[in-house]
Amino acid sequence: MKLVVEGLGVDRGGRPVLRDLGFAVAAGEALAVLGPNGAGKSTLLRTIAGLIAPAAGRVALEGGDPDLALREQIHMLGHLDAVKGGLAVRRNLAFARDVLGGGGDLDAALETVGLAHIADLPGSALSAGQRRRLALARLLAAPRPLWLLDEPTAALDAGAQRLLAQLMADHRAKGGLIVAATHAELGLPGAATLDLAGARRPASLTDVS
Ligand SMILES: Nc1ncnc2c1ncn2[C@@H]1O[C@H](COP(=O)(O)OP(=O)(O)OP(=O)(O)O)[C@@H](O)[C@H]1O
């Protein structure tokens, strides 16, 4: 299985954000997408996920399940953790598994991410890091080959960051693929990097009047 991106161009608000981007990520590999604020990291992930239509180029998962659309083979972990405040933690995860499809073990997933002891707590009661941990549990409850992770360490404490690194290593060992946008060290040994820094540069402080 291989994620292939060729000649990708993406506009946001009528302005070009990504131009002529190309790379491939094979089974078991990871790509860390770097770049300053506004460089287009989230835009790239959302375009791969099919949430933004590219202006040019193509995104394909070669060797994927021919009966499934690309978006059905992707997990997108974005800035919003998609936690339903009125549902208990375990029901949140069950709901996500039903929507995403998959036969992962809910209790095992909650145990792994350290939320088993609060499985009955409503989503509205979770801290930022706990919400993020619940998002990580979705990766396990509904297994999919391609993980798109947008700033996955945000709000995670040191223990959860080690857990994330282990989950990513396990996923790659099983032939999974990862594309992660990050400003931080993620614990992705051997990952390729794609630096979008050249695409756009933030205004320097002296530009601010
Ligand atoms: N809905 C939108 N309409 C217009 N422009 C947008 C929209 N969404 C994003 N942009 C612009 O696209 C560019 C890339 O944004 P994007 O969120 O992909 O950057 P990023 O690299 O993920 O940044 P950060 O590190 O701050 O998360 C930015 O200049 C942003 O202002």
Q: Could you please report the per-residue DSSP string of 69-95? A: -GGGGEEEE-SS----TTSBHHHHHHH
- For residue 16, is it within any domain? yes
User: What's the pTM value of the predicted model, to 2 decimals?
Assistant: 0.91
Q: Which domain holds residue 147?
A: 2-200
Decide whether any atom of ligand 1 lies within 6 Å of the 182 Cβ.
no
pLDDT by residue (tens digit) across 133-181? 999 999 999 999 999 999 999 888 999 999 999 999 999 999 999 999 9
Decide whether any atom of ligand 1 lies within 6 Å of the 41 Cβ.
yes
- Ligand 1 centroid, distance to 126 Cα (angstroms): 28
Higher pLDDT, 43 or 200: 43
Residue 197's pLDDT is: 87
Instruction: Please answer whether residues 31 and 179 qualify as being in contact, where contact means their C-beta atoms are separated by less than 8 angstroms.
Output: yes
- For residue 187, is it within any domain? yes
Q: Is the pLDDT of residue 107 over 90?
A: yes
Query: What's the total number of domains in the chain?
Result: 1
- For residue 175, is it within any domain? yes
- For residue 185, is it within any domain? yes
SS3 3: strand
- For residue 63, is it within any domain? yes
Residue 198's pLDDT is: 65
DSSP H/E element including 169: helix 158-173
If you average pLDDT over residues 19-42, what whole number do you get? Answer: 96
Decide whether any atom of ligand 1 lies within 6 Å of the 47 Cβ.
no
Decide whether any atom of ligand 1 lies within 6 Å of the 206 Cβ.
no
pLDDT by residue (tens digit) across 51-96? 999 999 999 999 988 899 998 999 999 877 789 999 999 999 999 9
CATH assignment at residue 54: 3.40.50.300
The tokens describing 56, both together, are 């040019």
Ligand 1 nearest-atom number relative to CA 79: 27
Residue 195's pLDDT is: 94
Q: Rounded to the nearest 10 degrees, what angle do helices 158-173 and 128-141 cross at?
A: 10
Percent of the chain at pLDDT exceeding 90: 79
In the block, tokens 């000649």 appear at 7
- Ligand 1 centroid, distance to 119 Cα (angstroms): 35
Question: CA-CA distance, 163 to 58, in Å (whole number)?
Answer: 33
Instruction: Please answer whether residues 61 and 73 qualify as being in contact, where contact means their C-beta atoms are separated by less than 8 angstroms.
Output: yes
- Ligand 1 centroid, distance to 107 Cα (angstroms): 36
- Ligand 1 centroid, distance to 16 Cα (angstroms): 11
- For residue 176, is it within any domain? yes
- Looking at ligand 1, which residue's alpha carbon is closest to its atom 12? 12
Longest dimension (CA), the chain: 55
- For residue 206, is it within any domain? no
- For residue 84, is it within any domain? yes
- Looking at ligand 1, which residue's alpha carbon is closest to its atom 4? 13
